[in-house]
């Protein structure tokens, strides 16, 4: 799995990943934080897990999760660490 954690101007972090890695990301979220809830709007989704809300965007086949709080940033850091550990093998377990 290939992912990157990028700072955005608001001070939040964006976890960016490949379209084919949705299942691995969902599995990592559920493994670390429990169930997730997704509510779609026109082009974005509100994704909630671990007591935090994130924005999911997928422009030009570049999906990402964007944190909205400092705690959300920490959670995305934990997800990124899990997804990139052992060469990204998490999704293949």
> Residue 57: its pLDDT value, please?
95
Comparing 83 with 77, which gets the higher pLDDT?
77
Q: List pLDDT tens digits, range 8-21.
A: 999 999 999 999 99
Segment 87-93 shows an average pLDDT of 47
For 7-61, the DSSP string reads E-TTS-EEEEE-GGGHHHHHHHHHHHH---EEEE-SSEEEEEETTEEEEEEEETT
Claim: this prediction has a pTM higher than 0.85: yes
pLDDT band at 63 (very low <50, low <70, confident <90, very high): very high
- Count structural domains, the chain: 1
Task: Find the domain containing 45 and state its range.
Answer: 3-92
Residue 37 in this model has a pLDDT that exceeds 80:
yes
């Amino acid at each position: 799995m290939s992912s990157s954690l990028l700072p955005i101007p608001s001070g939040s972090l964006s976890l960016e990943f490949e379209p084919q890695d949705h299942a691995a990301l969902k599995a990592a979220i559920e493994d670390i934080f429990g169930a997730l809830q997704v509510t779609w709007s026109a082009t974005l989704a509100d994704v909630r897990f671990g007591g935090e809300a994130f924005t999911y965007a997928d422009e030009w086949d570049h999906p990402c999760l964007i944190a909205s709080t400092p705690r959300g940033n920490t959670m995305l850091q934990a997800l990124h660490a899990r997804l990139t550990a052992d060469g990204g093998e998490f999704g293949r377990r």
